[in-house]
Each structure stands twice: as C-alpha cells, then as structure tokens.
Chains A and B, each alone.
Chain A
Amino acid sequence: MSMEDYDFLFKIVLIGNAGVGKTCLVRRFTQGLFPPGQGATIGVDFMIKTVEINGEKVKLQIWDTAGQERFRSITQSYYRSANALILTYDITCEESFRCLPEWLREIEQYASNKVITVLVGNKIDLAERREVSQQRAEEFSEAQDMYYLETSAKESDNVEKLFLDLACRLISEARQNTLVNNVSSPLPGEGKSISYLTCCNFN
C-alpha cells in the first residue's frame, strides 16, 4: 500500500489496566482473531487497519501499551499526538473501573486537548460475573463527557462498531476543524515541525 492510498490517517491509543483486554480488542479488530491466553505482544508497536467509510479510505493506526501499564509506568510520550483514546476497563473487575479517574488524570496531563476519548467496558461475554453495572459506567462516562460502549473481544460484539464509530467521529472532527491533526505543532511559526511519523493526511 502506497503512502497516499488513504484519505485519513488517525492515531488511536489504548489505555486501561492490565488484563482488561486491550490487546484482544485490537487483535479482534485488525486481524479478526481472539488470541486465547496470549502473552505479551513482542515487537508489535502498533497495528494498522484501513477501513472504508462513505467511500473514503481511513487508515487507523492503533497503539497498545506494550505492557507498561502493568506497573503503572506508561511513558508520557505514548499519549502525545493521539487523535483518539480508548479507555478500557473490564466489566467483571471493579478495580479496573475504579482506576479510571487515575487514567483520566494521565490523559488530562499528557494528551492533547482535542483528543476524543471513548470508554469501553470489555468482556460482556462474561455477563454472569459482571461487577460494574452499565448504568454506573454510563453515568460516569456522561459526567466525563466521553462516549461509552460495552464490548466483547471474544464474541466480537461491538468491536467493529467501536472502531468504525470512532473513525466516523474523527472524520467529522477533522472536517470541522482541519487543525485537529496539527495539535503537535500548533503554530505556524518560522520553525516548521519535522515529523517522521506524519500522523494525519487531509487532502
């Protein structure tokens, strides 16, 4: 695939406690796989999937935490220049929900103001072990002005929807304000920003 073979490119970053299924969501979406009992993902920095929305090719670059969340040691630079964040918790794990404010604080601190955040409650296939009610999560996400969705990476429930909806939102944001992708170098000062990773491409 040549560099120009898409209309939009967005960087999506996953965060959330270890074991909530972040990697499974990415794998399910990008490869259609549910890796049972997978370990760490060695050597994979981010995954790419190109989708077509209303005739436009949208390239999604999806970044995973590389395990740094395990001991709460995510690098700040991980958040920089993300267009969207998927904040994931496990509906069967109260603790993963209670850590959300801490994650939001990191987002506030390090991510761009214009980042779109989606709250995802994963593992709805394990409904009988649910510890976090949908209502609580809805209230929380509303208070935080986030989109909210429950998914199952295992059963493939809502996974496509999650990423495709996000892609739609990113496109409409990008349309409304073409500056949205320039957050990392906001001002057209005399120093032009040099980006090895050209994050977005609006033509």
Chain B
Amino acid sequence: MADNLPTEFDVIIIGTGLPESILAAACSRSGQRVLHVDSRSYYGGNWASFSFSGLLSWLKEYQQNNDIGEESTVAWQDLIHETEEAITLRKKDETIQHTEAFCYASQDVEDDIEEIGALQKNPSSGVSSTFTEVLDSACLPEESQSSYFNSDEMPAKHTQKSAGEISLEIADVDESVEKEKYCGDKTCIHTVSDKDGVKDESTSTVEDDANQPNRNRITYSKIVKEGRRFNIDLVSKLLYSQGSLIDLLIKSDVSRYVEFKNVTRILAFREGKVEQVPCSRADVFNSKELTMVEKRILMKFLTFCLEYEQHPDEYQAFRQCSFSEYLKTKKLTPNLQHFVLHSIAMTSESSCTTIDGLNATKNFLQCLGRFGNTPFLFPLYGQGEIPQCFCRMCAVFGGIYCLRHKVQCFVVDKESGRCKAIIDHFGQRINAKYFIVEDGYLSEETCLNVQYKQISRAVLITDKSILKTDSDQQTSILIVPPAEPGACAVRVTELCSSTMTCMKDTYLVHLTCSSSKTAREDLESVVEKLFTPYADIEINKEELTKPRLLWALYFNMRDSSGISRSSYNGLPSNVYVCSGPDCGLGNEHAVKQAETLFQEIFPSEEFCPPPPNPEDIIFDGDDKQPEVPGTNNTVIAKLQSSEESKNLESPEKHLQN
C-alpha cells in the first residue's frame, strides 16, 4: 500500500455493515476522527450486495475451507507491552453456513463457445468490460467444470448432472480475479493497445444479444454474461416509508446518495394461489377479487385499525387472545382474515397478541401513501447501497476508509482495563479512544457464552413474476404462512429489473425466515410451491403457469441482533459491539442500535444532524471571486463555524447574493 495510515484516531470502526456505517457517519459528522476498516474487499459485510460473479466469488470463499491471509500477517505478540494484554479477533468469518447453489438454466457447451467467440470479435467499449467478460466466461470452461465434478468434497447429489440440479462451477472465479489483478498492475495497457486493430467493430454485449433471434430462453451463460446487471443482496429488507431509516436518511441528507423505488404490490399466498392484497383505499375499491360486502367490511376494519387506540371497547376483551383469534371475531371473511394477518400486519406467528397485531396493522396503514401505493420502498441497486451511502457521508467529513484491512487484536491497558489501540495485519498499532466492532469479527473466545439465532435465506433468479399482470415491472412482497403451526412464515420479495438488481427478462427473488434447520430445508418447500425448476418444464405442462427457476442459492446467516452486551467475555468498556443483520423486514433494529451506541459514547452530541447544504457554500458561476490566496480557507472556516452553531443559513447565503 502506497500510503500509510495515520496512527491516531478518536474512533476506530471495524466492519462496514449498516449499524457500523451509520455510526461512522454520526461520529465523523460530530467532529471525531474516524478510521473505518473492513477486512473484506467490499462494503457492507453481511449487508452487501453483489453482481453475479461477485456473488460466486463470495460463495466460493465460504465453500472453501482454506484460511487465506494467515501467512501475510505480521505477528502481533511482540508488539504488546508488559502493561498490556491483547484480545484477538476472529481470523475467518463464520457467520455464513450451509451454502448451496443450484443451476437450473441450461448450460449447454455450445453456448459457451459462442460466447467466447463473440468476445474475441467484440471487445466492447472498455478494457474493463473485456476483463469482466473474461472473468465471467472463466466460470464455465469445460475443463474446470470436470475438475469440479471430480472433487471429493462435493456431495454426490450435486455431481450428477442428470439430477437436474447442477451445482455451480465457481472454482475458477478467484483465479480469474487474480489474472485480472495482474493485468491491472502490469500488462493491461498493452493488452488494450493490442486490441486497437479491432476496436471499430466494438458493439456492446447487450446489443449483441438483442440481435440474436430465439433468445427468450435465458441460459446460464447469459446470466453470467449479464452478471453485472445483478445486485444481489445478502439481506432482504425494505424501508418502511415512515420508518426510522427513511427519517434518518432524510434528516442526515444521506438520502442524496440514493434513489428508491416503490414496492408496487403486496401479495398473499392462499390455497395454493398467489393473489394481490388490496391495501390502499383505491385498491380496495378497485379490487375484482372482493365482493362489495367484503370491500365494505375490510375498509371499516382498516379504518378502525388506524385509530384503534381511541376505541378500546373494540378490542379490550381480546387482549389475552392472539391476533388471529381476534380477527375471527370481527366478521371478516377467511380471505380477508388471511390478508390482514399475513400480508398487512405480517404477523403470522400464533403468539402475536391482539395489541401487537393492531399496532402492526396501524403502522402498515400509516406508511401507506407517503410515497406510493404500498408502505415500502426499495433502494435502487439494492439494500447494499445504504451502508455505503453512510460511509460516503463519513468520508465527506474526514473519515478514513480502508477496505481489505484486517485487524488482528485489540490492545488493552491492564491497569485501566480500557482498550487503547488495535494492531492491524501489517503489525501497525493504531490508537483510538473508542472502538466499534461488528459481532462477526469477535473471536470464539469472546463469544463463548453467546447463543446465536440463524436466518435462512434463499436467492432465486426466475424468468417470470409469481403474479403476472400487464406490467412486467412490479416489485412485490409476499408472506407465505407457515405450513404447520409453530413453524415460521417465509417472507418473499420479488424484484424486477428496473430496481437495478437483475438483468432484463429476469426477476430476483429473495426468501427469508428465521431458521429452524438449514436454509434449504427451511425454504425449499416454499420455493417448490411457487416455482418450477427450469429443467422440468417439458415434463409437466400444467406447471407452466409458475415462473421457472433459473438459478438458486441457499445459505444461513448468523443473526446476532438479540445479543446483549453482557454475554460477550471480557470486552473493555470502550469497545462497543454492533450486530449483524436481523431477520426483520425493516431496518429499525440497525438504526436504533446505531443511535443508542452513539448516544452512549457521545451523550451530548446530536445524532446525524443535517450537514450544510453544498449549494450554500459554493460560489455561483456568475459572481467570480477574486483570486485571493486564503479565500478558500475562509470558506471552510465559515462552513465549520456554521456547523457548530447549527445555523446553516446565514454565513453562506451571503456568499451567494
């Protein structure tokens, strides 16, 4: 690394997940010197989103058991003084388990040859794209595939192509990343000039595809080729339009870095069928599925829920009952009960009380209509954008960012019991007053007494929406109630290509539930209810109404959200722990955690106040400022003083006239 890190900070933050990133922005905004590091090469940790090839690399990391980076780290033991002791951090992430990937889209070899050939003919507009495609096509060469199938480690089931579930070839991804790096450092420019001769033929790969007939069939190689159109989130969440994350984004102005789309439909799964849930007033009246009587009953009930607190007599007697029992007493027809319980209140658990249910329904209804027809927003390019946006805010206020930076241990002063520094993988000691660390970085020893829950996740690429309508650009959320009592409901979000998370003509489907078994065991039955494996399509014509599965990934993610601080062993009081993603639909947990920790560390500071408007501190084009040395200092000085006084209006407006 060309540049050395400074060694004095106020706050060091390890991990770039959502709560850590919000905290980084908050600390930096309030004038703290922040160092924000992540051991990975990407932002977000378990909150990240990936292109298709990025996801394959991520997957490979967890499927391989080798521990990279071990050799390259400098021993820290010698760097600890006598008056100090060390708390080591985990060397390898263990928050992801039971990863299983299946490819259903056809992978015929001819396709691949064609693609590679096309590549040579069409070096598209940038070096980079050539590299991406090399990287992508490197996932498929025959030799590597056969070597993969010979691998002993793989479960027998996946090695059989005839089973219709072909496990993904991913072994080559990292190799090609290596090659690519090599090119980047050394030979790249030459490679490019070599291609000068053919540059005029360049056509983008997208156009290339469009010109080919018979292409509505989406093959695996097409997914690989269009891989960068995907932004596949590891966690599947939505933003409640009146939720704390939206409020924070707006208040802190971080919203300027991100754009959103409305979730357009709330769906329900009842008696084997997917149907749309009418939730706004207009929806209810326009619904073709509901009878006039049902419409009236539903509107009456929803209107009551909005102000249920004012009518205690309506529910007082049912306080002890579950919400589902309560709904039965409200003369709602079975489908209306289903809609309210599963799709609106989203409280499928039988343990949900009447009050909780009414509250959830009220919350849902209050979020309706702020931005659109459903209570939810989805960030363009995926949820993974949001932590990055807070990181940008932190950097704008002077925070220093360092990905691929491993921390080996905390250095604790024996006498005070406080953490005073970290030692990184270069053996560099970096001092700070406060330390914030994501749970996944803590060692087994620190977490000895911690009982973790798990989240079961599935990511599917499909060719059609689960509920076809006139528009193919719908973003939907569906709650599939548990098949048996006591089990968990499964949350399904279906994203269309205009959310910038998947390629054209595909849908990206996320399934989430809290785990009772492995992700595949928990979720496969729901996947089978909603989708048809691509390979089976010829056999069962009746199933044609269901979308086809092109590709599927299952994994379990550790849920550290409910862990109390006291369960961790021997952490100094100035080391604060952020949890990884929780299982909930919204982001309220992460926001609350960040705010609580910030107030614990800096009780007198405001949490993420609005920054000065960049437009207010800039000279307008028309009134040229004289080139006086030092003028720019005064601008900055004014900006800073205005931050302190929180009076954002006065000094800058003067500059503008």
- Which residue of chain A has its CB nearest to the CB of B48? A76
B474 — which chain A residues lie within 8 A by C-beta? Answer: 189-191
Question: By the criterion CB–CB under 8 Å, are B618 and A40 in contact?
Answer: no
Q: Is B102 positioned at the interface, with any CB of A under 8 Å from its CB?
A: no
- Quick one: which of A13-56 are within 8 Å of B by CB? 18, 27, 30-33, 35-36, 38, 40-52
Q: Is B427 positioned at the interface, with any CB of A under 8 Å from its CB?
A: no
Contacts A70-B400, A77-B385: A197 and B256 contacting too (C-beta < 8 A)?
yes
Against B, the Cβ 8 Å flags (1 = close, 0 = not) of A188-199 are 111111111100
B473 — which chain A residues lie within 8 A by C-beta? Answer: 187-191
Question: By the criterion CB–CB under 8 Å, are B392 and A78 in contact?
Answer: yes
Specify which of B202, B371, B395, B625 is in contact with A66 (CB 8 Å cutoff).
B395
- Quick one: which of B107-149 are within 8 Å of A by CB? 125-129, 131-132
Question: By the criterion CB–CB under 8 Å, are A101 and B127 in contact?
Answer: yes
- Which residue of chain B has its CB nearest to the CB of A100? B189
Question: By the criterion CB–CB under 8 Å, are B204 and A113 in contact?
Answer: yes
Kindly provide the distance from the CB of B327 to the nearest chain A CB, expressed in whole angstroms. 29
Question: By the criterion CB–CB under 8 Å, are A73 and B125 in contact?
Answer: no
Question: By the criterion CB–CB under 8 Å, are B381 and A105 in contact?
Answer: no
A52 — which chain B residues lie within 8 A by C-beta? Answer: 621
Q: Is A127 positioned at the interface, with any CB of B under 8 Å from its CB?
A: no
Which of B292-300, B562-570, B608-616 is near enough to bind chain A? B608-616
A-B contact count (CB 8 A): 233
| Distance A42 CA – B631 CA, assembled complex (angstroms) | 16
Question: By the criterion CB–CB under 8 Å, are B192 and A101 in contact?
Answer: yes
B206 — which chain A residues lie within 8 A by C-beta? Answer: 113
Contacts A32-B627, A107-B128, A193-B260: A38 and B193 contacting too (C-beta < 8 A)?
no
Residues of A contacting B: mostly? loop
Against A, the Cβ 8 Å flags (1 = close, 0 = not) of B559-587 are 00000000000000000000000000000
Question: By the criterion CB–CB under 8 Å, are A196 and B193 in contact?
Answer: no
Contacts A42-B636, A45-B396, A71-B405: A1 and B620 contacting too (C-beta < 8 A)?
yes
Against A, the Cβ 8 Å flags (1 = close, 0 = not) of B27-62 are 000000000000000010000000100000000000
B631 — which chain A residues lie within 8 A by C-beta? Answer: 31, 33
Contacts A66-B392, A75-B389, A101-B128: A40 and B259 contacting too (C-beta < 8 A)?
no
Q: Is B88 positioned at the interface, with any CB of A under 8 Å from its CB?
A: no
Residues of B contacting A: mostly? mixed
A104 — which chain B residues lie within 8 A by C-beta? Answer: 126-128
Question: By the criterion CB–CB under 8 Å, are A194 and B193 in contact?
Answer: no
Kindly provide the distance from the CB of B245 to the nearest chain A CB, expressed in whole angstroms. 14
Q: Is A147 positioned at the interface, with any CB of B under 8 Å from its CB?
A: no
Question: By the criterion CB–CB under 8 Å, are B127 and A144 in contact?
Answer: yes
B255 — which chain A residues lie within 8 A by C-beta? Answer: 196-197
Q: Is B279 positioned at the interface, with any CB of A under 8 Å from its CB?
A: no
Q: Is A178 positioned at the interface, with any CB of B under 8 Å from its CB?
A: no
Specify which of B51, B184, B204, B389 is in contact with A77 (CB 8 Å cutoff).
B389
| Distance A183 CA – B223 CA, assembled complex (angstroms) | 21
- Quick one: which of A138-157 are within 8 Å of B by CB? 139-140, 142-145
B189 — which chain A residues lie within 8 A by C-beta? Answer: 98, 100-101, 140
- Which residue of chain A has its CB nearest to the CB of B389? A77
Q: Is A130 positioned at the interface, with any CB of B under 8 Å from its CB?
A: no
A145 — which chain B residues lie within 8 A by C-beta? Answer: 125-126, 199, 202
Specify which of B125, B259, B398 is in contact with A42 (CB 8 Å cutoff).
B398
- Quick one: which of A92-109 are within 8 Å of B by CB? 95, 98-102, 104-109
- Which residue of chain B has its CB nearest to the CB of A99? B184
Question: By the criterion CB–CB under 8 Å, are A43 and B196 in contact?
Answer: no
Looking at A73, A104, A143, A196, the one whose CB has the most chain B CB atoms below 10 A away is A73
- Which residue of chain B has its CB nearest to the CB of A50? B621
Q: Is B214 positioned at the interface, with any CB of A under 8 Å from its CB?
A: no
| Distance A64 CA – B640 CA, assembled complex (angstroms) | 19
- Quick one: which of A78-121 are within 8 Å of B by CB? 78, 80-81, 95, 98-102, 104-109, 113
- Which residue of chain B has its CB nearest to the CB of A67? B395
- Which residue of chain B has its CB nearest to the CB of A30? B618
- Quick one: which of B482-541 are within 8 Å of A by CB? 496-498, 500
B127 — which chain A residues lie within 8 A by C-beta? Answer: 101, 104-105, 143-144
| Distance A30 CA – B623 CA, assembled complex (angstroms) | 11
Q: Is B471 positioned at the interface, with any CB of A under 8 Å from its CB?
A: yes
22 A-B pairs, CB-CB below 8 angstroms?
A1-B615, A35-B632, A36-B629, A42-B636, A44-B396, A44-B617, A45-B611, A47-B614, A71-B3, A98-B189, A101-B188, A102-B188, A108-B132, A140-B193, A143-B193, A145-B125, A145-B202, A189-B471, A191-B372, A192-B372, A196-B255, A197-B259
Known: A48-B618, A105-B128, A191-B474. 11 other contacts (CB 8 A): A30-B618, A42-B636, A45-B396, A76-B388, A105-B180, A144-B192, A184-B380, A185-B380, A190-B474, A193-B259, A196-B256
